[in-house]
Structure 1
Amino acid sequence: MKPLLLALLLSLGFSTAAVQPAAAYPVDCAILLCLAGGWPGSAECSHARAVFIRRITPWPIEPPLQIWNCPMRVGYPKPTDLERLFDIRANAPKPEWSWRFPTREVPVQRVANQADVDISDPAFDFVRSIKVFEITFQMQRSGDDNCSSSAAFYEGSYGSQGDYQRKRSDPSAVPAASDFRMPVECRNYRYRSVFVEWRDYMGSYGSEEVHY
């Protein structure tokens, strides 16, 4: 666990204590924290995950994590024993995690649609693991055995500093966890969805697909 990620956890109130009611907090900080921890069960993380999925629910489709809305430039003492203890905790059997967030509003700072600190370290690879696939495919077979099809595939991903890019893609890039399957023969077929996948800090895989 790198110092910057540890500092973020501490500054946002990482705790193994029982979850307490919290006032407003930047939801993207909650998404960042809960995603890293594998979406542990708590009211805050349930809300964060709901926002994460709602953003990819058409229309419009948004970046599910908007890290530029989470202020990460915080002052903190250099971790020593705490960092070592967190490393021990990360390698131990996975406990029941809960989270406590700030009880006051934290000012939001936008930094050119990217994190306001350097997150290029591998400790933040869980941010770059998020990928969003927009899938639109239609095939039609007419009575005279003519076959026509149309398709549009887009892939959204995160850069080294949490900046979000969207580009054209193709069926071969769609993850196997998606329900989409390219037809092997011509038939009447229509498929539209948005599929998002991610890995948490420990590398565990997760995904969600919204059909429409």
Structure 2
Amino acid sequence: MKVPIRSLTALGVALAAILPGTASAQSYQVDCAILLCLAGGWPASAPCAHARAVFIQRITPWPIEPPLQIWRCPMGVAFDGSAPLSNMERLYDITFKAEPTISVPDPTGPLVPVQADERADVDISGDEFDFVRSIRVYHIQFSQRQNRDGDCIRSDNTRLGSYGTQGDYHWARSSVAQVPTASDLPRPGGCGSVSYRSVFVDWRDHAGNYGFEEVRY
């Protein structure tokens, strides 16, 4: 069944109405599903529950992967030769007519924040895809303590993973001062003793609603 989705404004309603009965959790491209479900605010459905689980699994060490790997979702192709489809119509067809491609972290490997120069195979620079660029991944590695001389010894190796204009993903140096307050990161006054490691991801859906998850390790 072809379901027209002309804009991301209509996407959330379409997802809520369509996803619960269209496909099992094993019958779609997982990154296309992440893209659709994230845009729609993760509506309740088996496909979106699975997509969100993979999204979070990827930031669970080790390694720390881009939670959305948009280059794995072939939006530039369609499954039929009929009238030209919009990007979102193609995305819907790909999501529910293809087999999944799932990246599973290797628990035996070292902690490696993964870079990715790959990008979406269509132009996603428009405002309707701002929700992709809203995704931020903070790898928090912070500790502080006071030594016998009263000096405050701090170590802050926090890094930020973010998405570029076309969905490419890169890491940059950051700090705990930049970590959103939604994180459980302790923020004691003075030089209170802290040892904290986690991966925190947040995002906004196409309607601007805020969401986040955090994984301690």
CA contact (8 A) 1:131 1:156 kept: yes
Unaligned runs of 5+ in 2: 89-93, 103-115
Residue correspondence of structure 1 range 17-36 to structure 2 within 5 A = 18-21=21-24, 23-36=26-39
2:74 matches 1:68: no
Which amino acid in the other structure matches residue 157 of structure 2? A
Q: CA deviation at 1:4?
A: 7.6
User: Could you say which residue in structure 1 is the equivalent of 2:192?
Assistant: 187
Checking the alignment, whether the CA contact within 8 Å between 1:131 and 1:198 is kept in structure 2 is: yes
The residue correspondences of 1:1-212 to structure 2 (distance < 5 A) are 3=6, 15=18, 18-21=21-24, 23-75=26-78, 77=83, 101-105=95-99, 113-212=118-217
Kindly state the Cα deviation for residue 5 of structure 1 after the two structures are TM-superposed. Answer: 6.0
**In the TM superposition, what is the alpha-carbon distance from 1:22 to its structure 2 partner?**
6.0
Q: Tell me the TM-score normalised to structure 2 length.
A: 0.74
Instruction: Provide the rounded CA distance (Å) in 2 between the counterparts of 1:67 and 1:187.
Output: 41
Q: CA deviation at 1:50?
A: 0.5
CA gap 1:179/1:39 in 2 versus in 1, 3 angstroms: same
Q: Bigger relative contact order, structure 1 or 2, given CA contacts below 8 A and separation 6+?
A: 1
Report the CA distance shift for 1:60/1:16 in structure 2 as closer, same or farther (over 3 A): closer
Going from structure 1 to structure 2, the CA distance change for 1:37 and 1:24 (only over 3 Å counts) comes to same
- Tell me the C-alpha RMSD between the 2 structures: 3.4
Q: 1:165 to 1:20 in 2, by over 3 A?
A: closer
Q: How many residues align?
A: 189
Tell me: CA distance 1:122–1:2, structure 2 relative to 1, closer, same or farther (3 Å).
farther
* Contact 1:71–1:107, Cα closer than 8 Å, also in 2: no
Residues 211, 112 of structure 1: alpha-carbon distance in 2 compared, 3 angstrom cutoff: closer
Label 1:18 to 1:138 Cα distance change in 2 as closer, same or farther (>3 A): same
The answer to whether the 8 Å contact 2:26/2:100 transfers is no
Distance in 2 separating the partners of 1:173 and 1:206: 17
Corresponding residue SS for 1:176:
coil
Unaligned stretches of 5+ in structure 1? 84-99
Indicate the percent of aligned positions where both proteins have the same amino acid.
53
* 1:47-100 deviation line (CA, Å, top 9, x unaligned): 1001100111112101000000001013463579xx9xxxxxxxxxxxxxxxx9
Superposed CA offset, 1:145-181 (max 9, x none): 3331211111111111000011001222211211224
Letter of the aligned partner of 1:77 in structure 2? Answer: A
Distance 1:107 1:148 in 2: 45
